[in-house]
Amino acid sequence: MSPLAPFGARLRHAMDTRGPLCVGIDPHAALLSAWGLDDDVAGLERFTRTVVEALAGQVAVFKPQSAFFERFGSRGTAVLERAVADLREAGGLVVMDAKRGDIGSTMAAYAETYLRPGAPLFSDALTVSPYLGYGSLKPAVDLARESGTGLFVLALTSNPEGAEVQHAVRTEDPAGRTVGATMLARLAAENAGQEPLGSFGAVVGATLGDLSSYDLDINGPLLAPGIGAQGATPADLPAVFGAAVRNVVPNVSRAVLSAGPDATALRAAAERYADEVRAAAGA
């Protein structure tokens, strides 16, 4: 497909052809140690290169966690830049997990960093935080539309602390919706009329149980962390996401990465999870 096609269309194609799976690239100190690597730039580079070489041609979506690269300063960011470029060259889609959120020109600068073609960290999509108000994301929304990229907006996250904000009821909302439900409604409006899938997704935890009280039909992707080490399984997805399960992008990090550093084992773990998700979603 053309790289200028909207992110939602490219994502649908990637999931249909490579399998519905997102592998998180989270090189934290404990994982580097488990691989027999030092917690330094050399270890970071070796880890990242191994994951990219093993999985770039197989997995649909990759979600590098920017913080684990940023902690090494400019040299760590250089490793991330190369990984993003190599993953995309091999046909993988990259969702940069940076959870950026700000206002005005600062939000615009964050958008330029990740969503402007030609930028060193240019990615297919970016995770963003809407908790300065959904409208604060407008610079990122506008650039994503222009560049054919996407956003994943934090809506119903898997961390327990998120509930105090995301489940709070907005008293000024005539419908009495929660903050999380409001975010879902805003995303549905962004995606209206888009085929085969909108480019503006929500982050919704796979560990949250029954979400039937929320309208997850946003005509866009639902990035679902929590599978594997956090306790959720692919078999849980239909009960959590209901009819929207086909649009779920399940993220697995440690459960795949812990199979390394052997490349064959990494590929086998990723394939197993993709098959399990495909079976659960009836894809």
Alpha-carbon separation of residue 51 from 5, 95, 147, 148 (angstroms) = 27, 15, 27, 26
Quote the CA–CA distance of 19 and 92 in Å, as a whole number.
11
Question: Alpha helix locations (H) across the chain?
Answer: 7-18, 29-34, 41-55, 66-70, 73-89, 104-115, 138-147, 163-166, 179-191, 237-241, 254-257, 263-281
Do the bridges between strand 22-25 and strand 248-252 make them parallel or antiparallel, or are there none, so unpaired? parallel
Distance of CA 257 to the CA centre of its chain: 16
8 phi/psi in degrees, rounded to 5: -60, -40
Active site residues: 99
The number of CA neighbours under 13 Å toward the Cβ of 32 is: 19
